[in-house]
C-alpha cells in the first residue's frame, strides 16, 4: 500500500509527508519525490514557506506513515509554486480581526503576495488573494479553499 501511494505521488508530482522509524512520531519530512525505485526514495524537502531545504533519501521499508493531499500540503504546494514572489525574510504580520482585514486586502491582491491567513494558531490557509468583496466579506483565494472573513475570529495575516 505504501509503495502505491509513493508511486502515485511521484507520478503526479504531489507534495507528501512521510514519517520514518528514524524520526520522532510527531515529526515528518515534507516534499516532492524526485527518485523512486523498489527499495529507496529521494525527497526534495520543503520548509514551511515552500522553499527547498535539500535532498533526503530513505529506505521504503523504514517509512511508517505517508500523507498525501491534506490541507497543509495543498497550501504548501501553492507557496512552493509561487516561491519566487514569497520571501519569508520580508514577511509582515498584521494582527487584525474580521472586517479590520478588509482595507489590507486590496493591497495584498494588487501586490500579488503569497499570504497566510490565520484563524487560530494552527488553523491557517496559504495562498494568493485573487478577489474579494468588501460588502459580503468573502475572499476568492488561490489555495485550498475560499473562506469568509466575517465568520472568523482572531484573524491575522502574514505577508
- Domains of the chain by residue range: 2-69, 84-158
What separation, in Å, do the N-terminal and C-terminal C-alpha atoms of the chain show? 39
- What is the rounded distance in angstroms from the CA atom of residue 112 to the CA atom of residue 29? 29
- What is the rounded distance in angstroms from the CA atom of residue 55 to the CA atom of residue 75? 21
pLDDT tens per residue, range 49-91? 788 899 999 999 999 999 998 877 887 887 787 766 666 666 6
pLDDT tens per residue, range 92-149? 666 776 667 777 777 877 877 777 777 666 667 777 777 776 665 555 555 555 554 4
3-state class (DSSP) for residue 103: helix
Domain 2-69 class in CATH: mainly beta
Hey, which residues does 156 pair with through a beta bridge?
95, 118
Amino acid at each position: 500500500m505504501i509503495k502505491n501511494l509513493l508511486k502515485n505521488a511521484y507520478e503526479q508530482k504531489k507534495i507528501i509527508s512521510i514519517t520514518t522509524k528514524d524520526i520522532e512520531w510527531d515529526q515528518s519530512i515534507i516534499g516532492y519525490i524526485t527518485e523512486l525505485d523498489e527499495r529507496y526514495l529521494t525527497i526534495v524537502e520543503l520548509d514551511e514557506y515552500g522553499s527547498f531545504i535539500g535532498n533526503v533519501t530513505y529506505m521504503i521499508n523504514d517509512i511508517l506513515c505517508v500523507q498525501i493531499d491534506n490541507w497543509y500540503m495543498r497550501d504548501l504546494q501553492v507557496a512552493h509554486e509561487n516561491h519566487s514572489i514569497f520571501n519569508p525574510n520580508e514577511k509582515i504580520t498584521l494582527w487584525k480581526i474580521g472586517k479590520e482585514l478588509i482595507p489590507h486586502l486590496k493591497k495584498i491582491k494588487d501586490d500579488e503576495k503569497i499570504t497566510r491567513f490565520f484563524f487560530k494558531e494552527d488553523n491557517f490557509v496559504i495562498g494568493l488573494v485573487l478577489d474579494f468583496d468588501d460588502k459580503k466579506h468573502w475572499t476568492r483565494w488561490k489555495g485550498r479553499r475560499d473562506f469568509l472573513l466575517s465568520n472568523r475570529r482572531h484573524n491575522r495575516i502574514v505577508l
